[in-house]
Amino acid sequence: MMKFTGKGVYGAIAIGKIAVFERQGMRVKRVPISDPAAEIERLEAAKAVALTQLGEIYEKALKEVGEANAQIFEIHSMMVEDEDYNDAIAEMIRSQSINAEYAVAMTGENFAEMFASMDDSYMQARAADVKDISNRIIACLANEQGTGELSDEKVILCADDLAPSETVSLDKDKILAFVTANGSANSHTAILARNMNIPAIIGLGEAFLGEVQNGVTAIADGFTGELIVDPDAETLTAYQKKQQEEIEKKLLLQKLNGKENITLDGTRINVFANIGSVDNIGAVLLNDAGGIGLFRSEFLYLEKTDYPTEEEQFRVYKKVLESMASKKVIIRTLDIGADKQADYFHLEKEENPALGLRAIRLCLKRPEIFRTQLRALYRASVYGNLGIMFPMVANEWELQEILALCEQVKEELTAENLPYADVELGIMIETPAAAIISDKLAPMVDFFSVGTNDLTQYTLACDRQNPQIEHFCDTHHEALLRLIEWSAKNAHANGAWIGICGELAADTTLTEAFLRMGIDELSVSPSFVLKVRDTIRKIDLRK
């Protein structure tokens, strides 16, 4: 038995035989030519074929992964016709009197290296797209398909990497899982795999390809990122049990998919999902969440070694909004500090960081960081149904400063002729102060979202990360429930809606109590959406 560990990009388990992916050879040689003009005509003909193929792949992707994810192939079509890319190829053919295949290969490598050397992880991932379209054009020049064939048996497909077009072109019915030596979580292949609901593991390293063989039984665990080759009987049995549990969850999905979150007496409630990155969108859609109730934007900051730019943030927010179409997406502004630290912020050491410079306090102390994020959010707002949520608010004056800054940002964008949409603004109720003065705060916002994790620790004076006092950290404490109910009453009295996005939202022993308080939305981890929906549909508030 051998184990290899990479990064799981779609949580599911596959058990089956390995198939090592082999492409048809496209060895490109430098060949002198005597007629550059004719060679460029040959190139144009190959590009026309490539564009036709990309159109067909786009239509296939549209059916399998939806419009937002199929757009990559429209982008590929645009790249095939990119002026800089084509000028570089044509110039190489003319100046060096060489064959089109070699000119495409060299230009593709040069452009891929340029993207790979960039600091932006999104742009780095575009290197694979350049290689993909270059290989396609070369294959068209050589009249080859460029991809390997699979057997009729379902397999765990192992490869060095897979181009987006290869991922979509493969027969999904023959794939149990994708496992690759390279690749990134930001790659379109990873995104497509998630949206095709196929278990996927990336980044296992080149060495694993030398160890695996066709036909050997393996387990691909998309949750942990482990590939277990030739498992022993005990391991195989354990994973078969785990896989069966996942199947039962999927049966629950089939039973509840598309159903409303409505009680027996007709009370409706939104069930949204909490996520920490764009990688989790597939899980949101798979579990049929009504929207995203908490998108933790700090992952953008924690994954970098310097402040993310406005453009970097804009691209991420735009992608999330487009992926969710018209469904509500509530993005929480930066919540750095306490247990979430990034060295480049140069935050001073604090005796009690949970009560220190964090979240909205940090944003108001460093408005240049906050303004950059707000600009990116408002610019992205035209691509979907956005709500912006501010964490750790405890004072009226804090909210007044936040709203004033939002107005300034909108005025700036208007002056720059940059469009933005109407955006719902809300605050998190996660300090007792915010709950107690919720009657003052509610008229200033569109919604509240109760962050029960922090509200619990601040109300009970219990460090939620200290296992020694876990017994004292009573999440059902009457004081906590009273604060939530008081906040709900004040929200509704002032025309605002209220949700819960902390872990308590998934506690189905409290679901009925929350509904009786008037909670309008529960936002939970994607895997809990169906469980909460099932509970809601069994409640009768008339009793």
Q: How far apart are CA 395 and CA 164, in angstroms?
A: 49
- 168 forms beta bridges with none
Looking at residue 465, its amino acid is Q
Confidence category of residue 468, pLDDT binned at 50, 70, 90: confident
Letter string b/e over residues 450-483, b meaning 16 or more CB atoms within 10 A of that residue's CB: bbbebbbbbbbebebeeeeeeeebebeeeebbeb
**Where is 18: in which H helix or E strand?**
strand 13-20
Give 206: exposed, middle or buried? Use CB within 10 Å, 0-12, 13-18, 19+. exposed
pLDDT over 80 (residue 221): yes
The mean pLDDT of the chain is: 87
Confidence category of residue 540, pLDDT binned at 50, 70, 90: very high
508 vs 276, higher pLDDT = 508
Average pLDDT over residues 207-229: 90
**Where is 531: in which H helix or E strand?**
helix 529-536
CA gyration radius, the chain: 26
Residue in 320, 324, 322 with CA at minimum distance from that of residue 279: 320
Spatial contact of 300 and 456, defined as CB atoms under 8 Å apart: no
Residue in 434, 411, 408, 531 with CA at minimum distance from that of residue 490: 434
Q: State the pLDDT at residue 146.
A: 46
Q: How far apart are CA 112 and CA 116, in angstroms?
A: 6
Q: How far apart are CA 204 and CA 452, in angstroms?
A: 38
Average pLDDT over residues 225-242: 94
User: Catalytic pick from 140, 158, 188, 363?
Assistant: 188
Task: Copy the structure tokens of residue 290.
Answer: 């009504």
Q: State the pLDDT at residue 147.
A: 47
Confidence category of residue 340, pLDDT binned at 50, 70, 90: low
Q: Say how many residues make up the chain.
A: 543
Domain 36-141 - what CATH class? mainly alpha
| Interval 361-403: pLDDT, tens | 988 989 999 999 999 999 999 999 999 999 999 999 999 999 9
Fold of 270-536: TIM Barrel (3.20.20)
pLDDT over 50 (residue 280): yes
Residue in 159, 149, 164, 148 with CA at minimum distance from that of residue 54: 164
Apex 477 CA angle, 474 and 482, nearest 5: 150
Q: State the pLDDT at residue 35.
A: 94
Contacts of 225 (CB under 8 A, 6+ apart): 5, 6, 7, 8, 201, 203
pTM over 0.85: no
188 is catalytic: yes
Average pLDDT over residues 64-85: 80
122 vs 240, higher pLDDT = 240
Average pLDDT over residues 466-480: 83
95 vs 62, higher pLDDT = 95
Span 2-23+148-235 CATH architecture? 3-Layer(bba) Sandwich (3.50)
For 283-375, strand residue ranges (E) read 292-296, 328-332
pLDDT over 90 (residue 124): no
Q: State the pLDDT at residue 10.
A: 78
Q: Are strands 13-20 and 217-221 parallel, antiparallel or unpaired?
A: antiparallel
Contacts of 87 (CB under 8 A, 6+ apart): none
Average pLDDT over residues 2-20: 89
Give 540: exposed, middle or buried? Use CB within 10 Å, 0-12, 13-18, 19+. exposed
Apex 119 CA angle, 116 and 124, nearest 5: 30
pLDDT over 70 (residue 122): no
| CA distances from residue 276 to 149, 199, 224, 347 in whole angstroms, order as listed | 37, 19, 17, 22
**Where is 101: in which H helix or E strand?**
helix 100-116
347 vs 377, higher pLDDT = 377
Cα 35 to the center of its chain, rounded Å: 49
Q: What is the DSSP string of 448-483?
A: EEE-HHHHHHHHHT--TT-GGGGGG--TT-HHHHHH
| Interval 158-216: pLDDT, tens | 988 887 777 777 777 888 998 988 877 656 667 667 666 788 898 898 888 888 888 89
Q: What is the DSSP string of 490-515?
A: HHHHTT-EEEE-SGGGG-TTSHHHHH
Q: State the pLDDT at residue 286.
A: 80
Complete edge-to-edge strand list for the sheet that includes strand 7-10: 2-5, 226-229, 217-221, 13-20, 155-159, 175-180, 200-202, 7-10
Asked whether the CA dihedral 144, 146, 150, 154 is positive or negative, the reply is negative
Q: What are the counts of helices (DSSP H) followed by strands (DSSP E) for the chain?
A: 21, 16
Residue 521, SS3? strand
- 449 forms beta bridges with 428, 499
Task: Copy the structure tokens of residue 277.
Answer: 């990155």
Q: For the chain, what are the domain ranges?
A: 2-23+148-235, 36-141, 270-536
282 vs 490, higher pLDDT = 490
| CA distances from residue 511 to 35, 104, 215, 342 in whole angstroms, order as listed | 75, 60, 48, 36
Q: State the pLDDT at residue 420.
A: 97
| CA distances from residue 283 to 12, 195, 250, 259, 533 in whole angstroms, order as listed | 10, 8, 12, 17, 16
| Interval 14-42: pLDDT, tens | 999 999 887 655 578 899 999 999 999 99
Q: How far apart are CA 272 and CA 525, in angstroms?
A: 8
Find where tokens 């398909």 sit: 145
346 is catalytic: no
Looking at residue 332, its amino acid is R
2-23+148-235 and 270-536: identical CATH topology: no
- 179 forms beta bridges with 158, 201
167 vs 137, higher pLDDT = 137
Cα 9 to the center of its chain, rounded Å: 10
